[in-house]
């Protein structure tokens, strides 16, 4: 970092002028020059530019999680729903007001921050049925062949084969709700009864189908079947408000290490669903939703060229739906250049430069920032303290703001996790628990192909005195039943019409 001696305040004021905004903004902190934070030189992130996406990066222990918390609670207060992957469980403190400490009081004083404790409305969801939150799932049909191929670790040839298998099931109205449905379809196509069907698909070898079947078995052995089934998540449940505040959705994945590809790809499915479900929007004063994509490197690791192209397209196009996406990872180099170039806001915490690879990553990171006369960025990025970051965002007129060494504000909610009992109580009290907790296993490809569908039980006799006017009430109850809703959402499959698919091959309704 360098500035003319005695002119730190002048340099800070010059930088801060680039962060002035007419509309509402997230208050990140204050400009630091020569080691001093200038409380009057505010660094802001305009709400109107948040659908131009962003990056939060930095080495472990540098404060990324607190930055996510700081941004999320302010978005919630502004009425913007937020989706956060709570990988470590540290973000559950958003649901509880923070308590003042000497460190918080000192930080607030030096930044001119009128700090006061506050909590955000939070709903706890778990990817799959093994976590603490209300379980959320996707059907195999909805997930689609492109995303599933990423989860299964298939190469491009195998991915194409999986796509043909889905196409065959789609044409025949075979609902693929869970892993046993897909397994039954592949088993059928590779068995004696399915030989003619397999030939009819074209370009599918029994050997390749067998590889897919083994990959599916490996996924099931790792507990992956818990993520697929019904009732399927309705993405509109991620866009709630409570008492004027945006609801923060915390997504938990139990034992991330055993299923990293499934975790990241499931998040991509959520993003793809939002893209397909939400209407086009014009220029908005604030986003309709902000989606934080934690552990983003898992999404891009070993991804095919076609998969990366679809991510790039989704990120580019979803901004028109009023959705902002923040990728969170250790190094900006974890993000492909074509995606990185679309991220208008950068909050870069400290980088480590202990190895030659670290040095290369540092040099590449510096090149992604606008030139600045106020800092030596290579030195700054390795000298940042905990809770400090090098920031540049898009101004309200769409131009990059000056690079700012920023001392970040302290979150107003609790910094740390809350107890398991508190999470359990919140989940039990949530209407989403009743909506998603019970797994539904209706008739689908497995039952049809194995011809093991149980005969329907006769309907119980109606009470003799049952008045006819109660009939509409029964219908309304049926429509509100999660099983019926799931059936209606899969109506195209049930009626034998071929399913149409979106950008990622995910089912369209």
Q: With 50 as the cut, is the pLDDT of residue 485 above it?
A: no
Beta strands in 111-196 (DSSP E): 122-127, 134-136
Average pLDDT over residues 105-126: 96
Average pLDDT over residues 454-483: 42
Tell me which of 229 and 492 has the higher pLDDT: 229
How is residue 502 written in tokens?
Answer: 């979106």
Q: With 90 as the cut, is the pLDDT of residue 19 above it?
A: yes
Distance CA 72, CA 247 (A): 10
Q: Which of 145-149, 229-233, 363-367, 454-458 has the weakest average pLDDT?
A: 454-458
Q: Report pLDDT digits (tens) over 250-301.
A: 998 766 666 777 888 888 899 999 999 999 997 899 999 999 988 888 888 8
Q: How confident is the model at residue 490 (pLDDT cuts 50, 70, 90)?
A: very low
Q: With 70 as the cut, is the pLDDT of residue 499 above it?
A: no
Interhelix angle 140-152/305-318, nearest 10 degrees: 130
Average pLDDT over residues 461-487: 42
pLDDT (0 to 100) of residue 507? 60
pLDDT (0 to 100) of residue 503? 61
Burial-class residue 470 by CB neighbours within 10 Å (0-12, 13-18, 19+). exposed
Q: With 70 as the cut, is the pLDDT of residue 474 above it?
A: no
Distance CA 216, CA 222 (A): 10
Backbone angles phi, psi at 496, to 5 degrees: 85, 5
Q: What is the 3-state secondary structure (H, E, C) of 281-323?
A: CCCCCCCCEEEEECCCHHHHCCCCHHHHHHHHHHHHHHHHHCE
Distance CA 310, CA 298 (A): 16
Q: How far is CA 498 from CA 44, 491, 501, in A?
A: 49, 11, 10
* Average pLDDT across the chain, whole number: 85
How is residue 54 written in tokens?
Answer: 């962003």
**Radius of gyration over every alpha carbon of the chain, rounded to an integer in angstroms:** 25
Q: With 90 as the cut, is the pLDDT of residue 102 above it?
A: yes
pTM, to two decimals: 0.85
Q: Which residues of 141-157 are buried (b: 16+ CB within 10 A; e: fewer)?
A: bbbbbbbbbbbbebeee
pLDDT (0 to 100) of residue 231? 94
Classified as helix, coil or strand, 82 is: strand
Q: How far is CA 447 from CA 148, 198, 214, in A?
A: 22, 20, 21
Distance CA 338, CA 291 (A): 19
pLDDT (0 to 100) of residue 255? 63
Q: With 60 as the cut, is the pLDDT of residue 21 above it?
A: yes
Q: Which domains does the chain have, with CATH numbers?
A: 8-120+247-418 (3.40.50.300)
391: β partners: 347, 404
Q: With 90 as the cut, is the pLDDT of residue 480 above it?
A: no
Q: What is the 3-state secondary structure (H, E, C) of 316-352?
A: HHHHHHCEEEEEEECCHHHCCHHHHCCCCEEEECCCC
Angle at 390 between CA 354 and CA 70, to 5 degrees: 110
Burial-class residue 396 by CB neighbours within 10 Å (0-12, 13-18, 19+). middle
H or E segment at 142? Answer: helix 140-152
228: β partners: 138
Q: With 50 as the cut, is the pLDDT of residue 488 above it?
A: no
């Amino acid at each position: 970092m360098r500035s003319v001696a005695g002119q730190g305040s002048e340099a800070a004021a010059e930088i801060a002028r680039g962060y002035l905004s007419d509309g509402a903004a997230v208050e990140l902190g204050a400009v630091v020059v020569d080691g001093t934070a200038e409380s009057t030189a505010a660094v802001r992130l305009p709400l109107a530019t948040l659908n131009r996406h962003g990056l939060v990066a930095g080495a472990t222990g540098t404060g990324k999680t607190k930055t996510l918390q700081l941004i999320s609670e302010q978005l919630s207060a502004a009425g913007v729903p937020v989706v956060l992957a709570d990988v470590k469980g540290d973000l559950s403190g958003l649901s509880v007001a923070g308590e003042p400490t000497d460190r918080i009081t000192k930080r607030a004083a030096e930044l001119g921050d009128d700090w006061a404790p506050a909590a955000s409305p939070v709903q706890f969801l778990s990817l799959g049925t093994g976590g603490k939150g209300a379980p959320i799932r996707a059907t195999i049909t909805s997930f689609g062949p492109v995303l599933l191929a990423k989860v299964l670790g298939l190469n491009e040839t195998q991915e194409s084969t999986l796509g043909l298998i889905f196409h065959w099931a789609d044409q025949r109205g075979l609902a693929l709700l869970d892993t046993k449905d897909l397994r039954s379809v592949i088993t059928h196509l590779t068995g004696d009864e399915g030989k003619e069907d397999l030939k009819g698909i074209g370009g599918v070898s029994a050997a390749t189908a067998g590889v897919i079947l083994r990959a599916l078995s490996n996924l099931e052995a790792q507990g992956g079947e818990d993520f697929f089934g019904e009732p399927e998540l309705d993405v509109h449940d991620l866009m709630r408000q409570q008492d004027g505040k945006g609801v923060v959705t915390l997504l938990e994945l139990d034992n991330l290490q055993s299923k990293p590809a499934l975790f990241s790809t499931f998040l991509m499915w959520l993003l793809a669903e939002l893209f397909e479900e939400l209407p086009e929007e014009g220029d908005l004063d604030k986003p309709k939703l902000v989606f934080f994509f934690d552990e983003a490197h898992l999404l891009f690791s070993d991804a095919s060229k076609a998969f990366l192209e679809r991510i790039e397209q989704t990120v580019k196009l979803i901004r028109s739906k009023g959705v902002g996406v923040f990728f969170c990872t250790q190094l900006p180099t974890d993000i492909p250049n074509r995606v990185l170039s679309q991220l208008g806001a950068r909050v870069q915490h400290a980088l480590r430069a202990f190895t030659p690879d670290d040095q290369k990553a540092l040099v590449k990171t510096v090149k992604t920032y606008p030139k600045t006369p106020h800092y030596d960025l290579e030195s700054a990025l390795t000298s940042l303290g905990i809770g400090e970051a090098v920031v540049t965002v898009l101004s309200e007129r769409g131009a990059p703001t000056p690079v700012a060494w920023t001392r970040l504000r302290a979150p107003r909610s609790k910094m740390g996790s809350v107890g398991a009992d508190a999470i359990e109580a919140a989940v039990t009290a949530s209407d989403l628990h009743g909506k998603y907790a019970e797994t539904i296993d209706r008739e689908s490809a497995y039952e049809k192909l194995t011809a093991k569908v149980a005969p329907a039980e006769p309907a119980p006799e109606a009470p003799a005195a049952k008045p006819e006017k109660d009939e509409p009430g029964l219908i309304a109850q049926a429509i509100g039943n999660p099983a019926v809703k799931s059936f209606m959402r899969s109506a195209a499959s049930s009626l034998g019409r071929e399913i149409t698919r979106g950008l990622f091959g995910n089912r369209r309704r």
